[in-house]
Structure 1
Amino acid sequence: MQWLVNIDVPDLDAAITFYTQALDLRLSRRLFDGDVAELLGGPAPLYLLHNPAGSTACVGDERDYRRHWTPLHLDFVVDDLPAACDRALAAGARSEGAIRGEVWGRIATFADPFGHGFCLLQWQGRGYAEVS
């Protein structure tokens, strides 16, 4: 099985800039007449899909890029959490709290410029295995 990660965005060029600067990903190619950008540099390709605000997202729902909660979000594991936080903020992320320490490591929560939440994690010891 292969995983693909897709993120809807209202402004594809701004999203390419954000995700390449914030997370050190690189643009591999543009697909589907330029409406999709493939970013590489992580364990799975990340696809940015241009879908304007107000376009149909699913039956009875329209895309809204204000900050929103969703039960699905991405965590990015980094080697240097403070440096990764600085990089994300410089690229346009919004911090949603201070760095927190946990048994398994440290975590910082953010929103991207398009309303999607994400976390930056730095493992300590064996990561999540520390709690098993």
Structure 2
Amino acid sequence: MQLLLNIDVPDLARAEAFYTAAFGLTPARSLGDGGLELLGAQAPLYLLQQPAGSEGAAGRARDYERHWTPLHLDVVVDDLDAALERALAAGATREGEVREAAWGRIVRIADPFGHGWCLLQFLGRGYDEIAT
């Protein structure tokens, strides 16, 4: 199985600037005027330009204000503090304090398009610290 990540954005150039600066992804292929493939993660990320107000899932209008979804993406980093600084400088919004657990550290952020992300730094044996 191959996993592809697609993210709707209202402004492709602005999204490219954010994702390359915040997460160190690299532009690979343009997909016409409305899509861009980014590489550098374990799965390719595709930015898809979709105007605000256009029809999205279940006939609902796309809204790029901060929204909640039961699906979010974690970006595993070696240095949480440095990664958070890069993401904020690129335009992310911090949502809460850095939390620490037996497995590592985590902080929630939102990209400029309302999508939720977590920055995650494993410590020790990572999730094996709490696995049973």
Question: What range is the shorter-chain TM-score in?
Answer: over 0.9
Partner of 2:104: 105
Partner of 1:74: 73
Please identify, of 64-73 and 52-61, the stretch whose mean Cα deviation from structure 2 is larger.
Answer: 52-61
SS of residue in 1 equivalent to 2:53: coil
Identity of aligned residues (%): 63
Following TM superposition, by how much is the alpha carbon of 1:128 offset from its aligned partner in structure 2, in angstroms? 1.2
Q: Pick the structure with more strand per residue.
A: 1
**2:35 maps to amino acid:** V
Following TM superposition, by how much is the alpha carbon of 1:15 offset from its aligned partner in structure 2, in angstroms? 0.3
**1:87 maps to amino acid:** R
Count of residue pairs the alignment pairs up? 131
Partner of 1:24: 24
SS of residue in 1 equivalent to 2:56: strand
SS of residue in 2 equivalent to 1:56: coil
Partner of 1:118: 117
Gaps of 5+ in 2: none
Matches within 5 A, 1:52-63: 52-63=51-62
d(CA) in 2 for partners of 1:56 and 1:29?
25
TM (norm. structure 1) is 0.97
Instruction: Deviation per CA, 1:21-44: give whole Å up to 9, x if none.
Output: 00000100110x221110000101
Partner of 1:128: 127
SS of residue in 1 equivalent to 2:109: strand
Partner of 1:11: 11
Gaps of 5+ in 1: none
Partner of 2:46: 47
d(CA) in 1 for partners of 2:44 and 2:51?
22
Instruction: Deviation per CA, 1:74-98: give whole Å up to 9, x if none.
Output: 0000001000000000000000011
